[in-house]
Amino acid sequence: MGHDTLTTVGDPAEPAGDRLARPLPAWLGRPGPTSWHRLNPLTKLTIAVVTSIQAVLLGGIVGPSMVLLLAVVLPAVRTGVGRQVIRTSLLLALPLAISASLVNLFFLPDAPTTLFELGPFRATEEGARFALEIVIRVVAIAGALTLFYITTRTSDLVVDLERRGMSPRLTFVVGSAVTMVPQMVDRASAIAAAQRARGLDTEGSPWRRMRGVLPLVGPTIMGALNEVEERTLALEARGFTRPGRRTLLWSPSDPAYERLVRWSLVLTIPVVVIVRAGGWGLP
């Protein structure tokens, strides 16, 4: 390695002198591009969770549709991530939505009104309505979670949870779970590239592709295990298991009105429960 450092100058983005002059790494505390991004991570998480719960609680078609529009579509479009949210949440929701629609459309019990018949199967109006209700709920939940995921940096969420007194072990688990998927995808594609470079045929017949899986699985799993071990060691070396509260160099801001927003949102849940229990509701 000594050989390397002798002849190569470091990363151009980070000249040595500048590193000392700047007290914190550049990514830390960098504000998000929009005011939605800049909301406290817990606020965005609360919005996502309450949206999901309300989409189920409200029942009918109008209520969940309004929730979907107000809490998912509107912020997503205003934040400029509309297309991304639609694409991802439809991918998430589609399998469940399609199967639930088919089952209810044709097999909802006690549904007298026939829409049309397909061989032995009878599609009913009641079934269609119920299917629509389910699809809207599923899409609303998928959309709310996707919007949260896309507009929140994992590091911000982890830091914020830690500031609120959550155990570092727990926040670490949250953080690694969220970041693991893209890392695994990245690793798997690098491994696939290396094996294809050695003649592994991933473009041929299904049988050839099946045979090609083994050389990809091995290093993916070995690497993931290795990474866990190395990460544990690195954390340990930096005093991860040391008892006591950590001093945070930076954490996302959490103004009083956001706290108000969060509590109001949470309070809508018992309100709706009571209203629904009383027998009221939107169509």
Partner 1 sequence: MTELRLEGLVHVYPDSGVRALDGIDLRIDTGERVALIGQNGSGKSTLARHLNGLLRPTEGLVLVDGQDARERTVASLAGDVAVCFQDPDRQVFSGTVAAEVDFGPRNLGWSADVRRTAVATALDAVGLAGDQRTNPYDLGDSRRKLLTIASVLAMGTPVVVLDEPTTGQDARGVARIGAIVRQLAAEGRTVVAISHDMTFVAEHFARVVVMRAGRIILDGSPADVFAEAAWPILASTFLEPPLAAVVGARLDLGSTPTPDAVVAALRARTA
Q: Which residues bind partner 1 (CB under 8 A)?
A: 1, 3-4, 6-12, 187, 190-191, 193-204, 214-219, 222-223, 226
Give whichever of 170 and 193 is closer to partner 1, judged by the CB atom: 193
From residue 120, give the alpha-carbon distance in Å to each of 98, 106, 116, 123. 20, 10, 11, 10
Is the distance from CB of 59 to CB of 283 less than 8 angstroms? no
Give whichever of 13 and 118 is closer to partner 1, judged by the CB atom: 13
Cα radius of gyration rounded to whole Å, the chain: 25
Q: How far is the CB of 185 from partner 1 (least distance, A)?
A: 11
Give whichever of 72 and 216 is closer to partner 1, judged by the CB atom: 216
Q: How far is the CB of 98 from partner 1 (least distance, A)?
A: 28
Q: How far is the CB of 41 from partner 1 (least distance, A)?
A: 24
DSSP state of 118: E
Is the distance from CB of 262 to CB of 49 less than 8 angstroms? no
Give whichever of 59 and 223 is closer to partner 1, judged by the CB atom: 223
Give whichever of 110 and 203 is closer to partner 1, judged by the CB atom: 203
First to last CA, the chain: 70
Residue 31, amino acid: P
Q: How far is the CB of 211 from partner 1 (least distance, A)?
A: 10
Q: Which of 197, 160, 126, 125 is nearest to 46 (CA)?
A: 160
Distance CA 186, CA 224 (A): 12
Q: How far is the CB of 1 from partner 1 (least distance, A)?
A: 6
